[in-house]
Amino acid sequence: MKKVATIAMALLLGVAVIASCGSSTVREDKVTEEITEDSGLITVGFSQLGAESDWRSANTISMQSSFVPEEGYSLIYKNGQQKQTNQITAIRTFIQQEVDYIVLAPVTESGWDSVLSEARDAGIPVILVDRRVDVADKSLYSCWVGSDFELEGKKMAAWIDSYTKSINMAPSDVHIVNIQGTIGSTAQIGRSRGLANAAREHGWDLMAEVSGEFTETKGYEVMAALLERFDNINIVYCENDNEAIGAIDALEEAGKKVGSDIRNGEIMVVSFDGVNKEALDYAKDGKISCIAECNPLHGPRVKALVDALVKGETPDKFNYVDEKLFSSNEKVTEVVVDGVTYKVQDIGD
pLDDT in tens, 48-65: 999 988 899 999 999 999
**How many Cβ atoms from other residues are within 10 Å of residue 284's Cβ?**
17
> How far from 60 is each of 53, 156, 201, CA to CA, in Å?
11, 26, 37
Return the H-helix or E-strand segment holding 15. helix 7-19
φ, ψ dihedrals at 205, nearest 5°: -90, 95
pLDDT in tens, 94-150: 999 999 999 999 999 999 999 999 999 999 999 999 999 999 999 999 999 999 999
**CB-count burial class (<10 Å; 0-12, 13-18, 19+) for 68:** middle
pLDDT in tens, 11-48: 444 444 333 333 334 554 544 444 445 458 999 999 99
Contact (CB, 8 A) for 91 and 47: yes
End-to-end CA distance of the chain: 7
Is the pLDDT at 82 greater than 50, yes or no?
yes
Q: 19-26 — which CB contacts under 8 Å span 24+ positions? A: 19/54, 19/57, 19/58, 19/60, 19/61, 20/54, 20/57, 20/277, 25/57, 25/61, 26/51, 26/57, 26/60, 26/61, 26/64, 26/77, 26/79
